[in-house]
């Protein structure tokens, strides 16, 4: 088969060229286009998407250089039930991943891929996860037939010809393949209809041993932007295990004290726990400064000094729109003022966007995320999908740190774990050492909200290190890897580990802690613990603050509230320990002995 290359092949990397040729022969696109990441490319593809009816250009006076997309109602989120870790041995995928034999899965998917790009262009996207050339970064290539994916990847990764310079003629790259799974007959067009395959034909497959990612049938988010969760967490977690570093579902903050001292904190939080808000936090305590290095993923390697240095492998924010407002996250709102791709939000008559929780009432009529007229007085469904998204440049964030793209990374002083827990778990608790901290992270759990339709609201879902959906191998081996990391350097050079809980309530349902910008008051204590400027109270569960060391001046938090927030509920913790034991049973007999010892030790301390 003769391949129609639409532009010059930009590399002498034989394996890369052969890989593209092999897939083009299987998928039979109209032509193959090698992307360059330029503004001209972005603008051209954007115009094609608008002209084809798949995108709406927003009012340039209100949202300069912004587009709105509406996806198919079957294609609105990550599809966990169709996401696979196809390790060579089933036991290596572990109990938290879906598994299919890799040979069988590849045979099935090749059947779907055959001829799947008929009538479409195959785009080859060169990208770097992390600053190009950084020792912590990784190079990937994504084959896709979706221009929507290309322009989103422009924002979310470093798409640039500089990738080829780093790659050279024989460098390592992670091969990723994507198709929307909707071939076009001769002369057929999408005609403004979002292309995707039925849910039963969707596959998001990871092959850990060969470092491959194959995705078919979905054009949406984490299913299609393969540099994101697929590469940056599932495959990278396997690479990190094998190469002795860390790929974690963590935000990265830069904190500067009034005296000008700087610390960097990485934090892992399950969904609906305020992670994005914390990443862009505006402190309510005077003269403290918080800046954003990353809002979602951290890759960390040891530096020559024995400390962990982190980069944000992404270059953009893929955030949930509903609930984002000037009250909850002004910096996110400023970030999406221009150069942003919106998906499944509502459209106003004057060409702006709207969603539930944006902070102001909707106009009387607008166009909802399904493309239908929506009236505020009579509507029975939300105007925006609950998982509606924005894709925005990190560089447009007003509090982006000046060192966020430092190829050497930033030194991490502390890890935060968190969860949505209305009782038992205190406002902040410091682990006594790395092993205890690994145990604390492994036991992280969050109360299920009503939005999780497949789980009972009010129950606690265990989410070790907030990585439950993203570990590319057995969860118990992942926990062992954390313990191994702790043995690679001295205790004083490892990040200190804390667990925070902004979500404590009284029995009558009143919040005990104001949250949002006031979370800076907890960060202040964490900062001071990292500098040795405050002591802590040793308890059965860890190291807690003295009441006087949490600054509540100017808040509605009473002394009694603070007492409750910093108390140790022994009976509640005994129930918590029982639940942790049950969660460990799911992980099988590979759970590290050190963590089982932590359970025994906590049980003794609780009495």
Catalytic residues: 273
The residues pairing with 31 across neighbouring beta strands, listed in sequence order, are: 121
Rounded to 5 degrees, what are φ and ψ at 141?
Answer: -130, 135
Distance between CA atoms of 8 and 15, rounded to whole angstroms?
17
Say whether 527 sits in a helix, a strand or coil: helix
Instruction: Give me the sign of the Cα torsion angle 34, 40, 46, 51.
Output: negative
DSSP letters spanning 496-512: EEEEE-TT-B-TTS-BS
Distance between CA atoms of 420 and 426, rounded to whole angstroms?
11
The residues pairing with 391 across neighbouring beta strands, listed in sequence order, are: 318, 341
Query: Do 593 and 483 touch, CB atoms closer than 8 A?
Result: no
Alpha helices in 376-474 (DSSP H): 434-442
In eight-state DSSP terms, residue 108 is H
Distance between CA atoms of 326 and 341, rounded to whole angstroms?
19
Non-local CB neighbours of 195 within 8 Å, separated by 6+ positions: 146, 180, 181, 182, 219
Edge to edge, what strands does the sheet with 389-393 contain? 55-57, 67-69, 341-343, 389-393, 316-320
Distances from the Cα of 356 to the Cαs of 46, 259, 362, 417, in angstroms? Answer: 27, 40, 8, 28
Element (H, E) at 228: none
Query: How many CB atoms are located within 10 Å of the residue 393 CB?
Result: 18
Query: Do 379 and 231 touch, CB atoms closer than 8 A?
Result: no
Q: Of 289, 275, 292, which Cα lies nearest the Cα of 403? A: 292
Edge to edge, what strands does the sheet with 246-248 contain? 246-248, 298-302, 308-311, 410-411
Alpha helices in 407-558 (DSSP H): 434-442, 475-486, 520-531
Query: Do 93 and 81 touch, CB atoms closer than 8 A?
Result: no
């Amino acid at each position: 088969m003769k391949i129609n290359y639409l532009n010059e092949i930009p590399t002498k990397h034989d394996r890369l060229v052969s890989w593209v040729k092999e897939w083009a022969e299987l998928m039979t696109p109209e032509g193959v286009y090698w992307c360059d990441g330029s503004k001209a490319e972005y603008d051209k593809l954007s115009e094609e998407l608008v002209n084809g009816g798949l995108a709406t250009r927003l009012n340039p006076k209100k949202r300069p250089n912004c587009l709105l997309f509406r996806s198919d109602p079957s294609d609105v989120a990550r599809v966990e039930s169709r996401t696979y870790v196809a390790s060579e041995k089933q036991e290596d995928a572990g109990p938290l991943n879906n598994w299919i034999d890799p040979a069988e899965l590849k045979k099935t998917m090749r059947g779907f891929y055959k001829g799947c790009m008929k009538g479409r262009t195959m785009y080859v996207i060169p990208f770097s996860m992390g600053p190009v050339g950084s020792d912590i970064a990784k190079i990937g290539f994504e084959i896709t037939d979706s221009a929507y994916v290309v322009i989103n990847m422009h924002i979310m990764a470093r798409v640039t010809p500089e990738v080829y310079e780093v790659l050279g003629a024989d460098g390592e790259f992670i091969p990723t393949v994507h198709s929307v799974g909707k071939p076009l007959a001769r002369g057929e067009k999408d005609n403004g209809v979002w292309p995707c395959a039925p849910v039963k034909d969707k596959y998001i497959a990871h092959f850990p041993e060969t470092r491959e990612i194959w995705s078919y049938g979905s054009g949406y988010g984490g299913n299609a932007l393969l540099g994101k969760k697929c590469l940056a967490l599932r495959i990278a977690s396997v690479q990190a295990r094998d190469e002795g570093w860390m790929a974690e579902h963590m935000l990265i903050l830069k904190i500067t004290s009034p005296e000008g001292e700087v610390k960097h904190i990485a934090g892992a939080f399950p969904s609906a726990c305020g992670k994005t808000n914390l990443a862009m936090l505006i402190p309510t305590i005077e003269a403290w400064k918080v800046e954003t290095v990353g809002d979602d993923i951290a890759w960390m390697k040891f530096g020559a000094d024995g400390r962990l240095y982190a980069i944000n492998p992404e270059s953009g924010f893929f955030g949930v729109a509903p609930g984002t407002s000037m009250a909850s996250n002004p910096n996110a709102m400023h970030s999406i003022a221009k150069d942003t791709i919106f998906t499944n939000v509502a459209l106003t008559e004057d060409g702006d966007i709207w969603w539930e929780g944006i902070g102001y009432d909707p106009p009387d009529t607008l166009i909802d995320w399904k493309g239908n007229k929506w009236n505020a007085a009579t509507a029975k469904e939300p105007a925006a999908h609950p998982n509606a998204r924005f894709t925005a440049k990190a560089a447009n964030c007003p509090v982006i740190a000046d060192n966020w793209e430092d190829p050497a990374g930033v030194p991490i002083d502390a890890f935060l774990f968190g969860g949505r827990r209305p009782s038992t778990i205190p406002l902040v608790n410091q682990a006594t050492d790395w092993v205890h901290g690994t145990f604390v992270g492994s036991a992280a759990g969050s109360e299920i909200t009503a939005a999780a339709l497949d789980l009972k609201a009010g129950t606690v879902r265990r989410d070790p290190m907030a990585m439950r959906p993203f570990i590319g191998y057995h969860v118990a081996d992942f926990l062992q890897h954390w313990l191994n990391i702790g043995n690679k350097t001295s205790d004083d050079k490892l990040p200190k580990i804390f667990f925070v809980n902004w979500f404590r309530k009284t029995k009558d349902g009143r919040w005990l802690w104001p949250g949002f910008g006031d979370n800076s008051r907890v960060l202040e204590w964490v900062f001071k613990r990292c500098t040795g400027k405050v002591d802590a109270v040793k308890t059965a569960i860890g190291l807690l603050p003295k009441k006087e060391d949490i600054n509540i001046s100017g808040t509605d938090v009473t002394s009694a509230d603070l007492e409750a927030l910093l108390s140790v509920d022994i009976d509640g913790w005994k129930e918590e320990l029982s639940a942790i034991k049950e969660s460990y049973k799911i992980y099988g007999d590979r759970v590290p002995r050190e963590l089982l010892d932590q359970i025994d030790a906590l049980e003794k301390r609780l009495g």
